[in-house]
Structure 1
Amino acid sequence: MEQPPKSPDSQRPADSDGGLPHCYRHPDRETGIRCTRCEKPICTDCMVDASVGFHCPDCVRSGSGTGHAPGASQPRNVVGGVVHAGDPRLVTKILVGLNLAVFAVVSLAPAGERILREFYLIGGVAAPPYVLLDGVATGEWYRLFTAMFLHEEIWHIAFNMLGLWWLGGPLEAALGRARFLALYLLSGLAGSALTYAVAAPNQPSLGASGAIFGLLGATAVLMKRMNYDMRPVIALLVINLIFTFGGSNIAWEAHIGGLVAGALLALALVHAPREKRALVQYGAFGLVFAAVLVTVLVRTASLTL
């Protein structure tokens, strides 16, 4: 993300060697921004918007950066979200725990197979004389959502939860809890919608892969905006796409749908102009949700006419 214009409080002398100071949390990054509370140098990844200047994460967590006068604005992150002083990975941990809990129930409960059949994504199951008995096309739209939390194989949930942990924590810290959760869920729904629209209606699908690919797309956009080295995330994306199209029993539609949705939402989050930030961000989430809704309606119409 580009450095914003320096406020008068953030302009400090450079290091004694004539260069810019380095972020106290990322010694390899030069920065011209300092915390207005403790005056430690902070990079754009660490700075937290405050009513005056910027604060460092330490001051925000300790509360010294949040002691504004009544009516003053709360510290916000680089996309406008409120910075919480608690665990920066709270939502990520909850999502990982929820996925693991559902996997345990499905794996250990006697009714595990029935739970999978009732909640995985399937367009419709036909029976003679070709009448749809169950599936999204028959009104079971909840399957678009519940399939995001179902896994059948241990390797499947292991890879997805590793991806969620590695990508989710930094993104949650950068975007804030609400925006991160909305991006995760909407990316997963976009993946489900594309799977429903393209795959055979009687082909079951399940897993958090669509949402994980959404986080991957958002990470790439955020790193590009902050002028970070893109080679690691590009390599990760290429490897995942090779597995997506080269493996068997992989719903590539969920991966691509989630990836595109996550990238588009992240573009709106990090590039929204400050004066119209809320309008642009909420509008982008609304448009992606509308696209998901239209996709599901069109596919349902084609299966039920």
Structure 2
Amino acid sequence: MARSSISPDIGGLGGEAVVYTFTVWETESCSKMQKTEAKLSPHNKLNDLTGREWIKFTKSWFIHRPERRADAKILHPASFPESLAKEFILFFTKRGDTVVDPFLGTGSSLVACLETGRNGFGIEVMEKYSSIAESRLRIVAGEADSPSTVKVLHGDSKHLGGLWAREKMGLADYCITSPPYWNQLKRSDLRQKKRVELGYDTNYGDNPEEVGLIEDYQEFLAVLKQVFNEVYRIMKPKGYLTIVTNNVFQNGRLYPLAFDTVRTLAIEPCAWVPKDEKIWCQDDKALLPLGVNSAWVGNRHHQYCLIFRKETRP
């Protein structure tokens, strides 16, 4: 069953923020990675995995081939698969924990929360995509049969602290998200040709609060820092953060966005401690004729899953 409510001026946004709340019932087996409780170590404070499953996930690279995206989800120009989010959620949380996503998009992370018995809170600045997320979650909520609650909020994640407080949420246990890769989607090139032909979105629209529309690279990094400072403040001590991102090639040069994200978030105040990276290898992507007979332009078939932790430094 789904409930919707209007909360005026949440977090000082100067308007209305729409909050959708879903409570669902989880299926008996939500993932191959989850086993019966009898096989779990009583000393495992992080997740509900066995020792073998724990070790397997710590491999520094992985190949993930998600199922074909549904029509509603493919409307978003840069969605990431809920099956990938599910694997990270299963590792960094226990059943009943709370996950936050400040760049919700069409709701992949919250779908993963419902499918794994976690609670979730997602914020999306574009009303079109928050509505798609709400519709997707309504469908998933109708198919499950064990308690789990997620909330979709149409708002600005730069005000996450205020939004979180108004919703009377406890501290978050984990954050997984995929921010815009700077303004990369504003380009018109071979990578976008197919989406143009099909009439799908190729950028994030014209909302002035949309991070993916920022032209200046350093300003973009500063806004990312602002958002993840907010996440830091609502995160429990020793809670983890995973950011799916990539370096970008623009105007004839490489911008090391993934590496600059690590550097930027590690700066005080609210300094996240970088812990590691997992490389998502995308060997199922088609090769494009980029720069042929002219200059080097690589086919980037991987993404970085950056892992941070909130720690108290001495």
With the shorter chain as reference, the TM-score category is under 0.3
TM-score, scaled to structure 1 = 0.26
Larger Cα-atom Rg:
1
TM-score, scaled to structure 2 = 0.25
Q: Which has the higher contact order (CA 8 A, sep 6+)?
A: 2
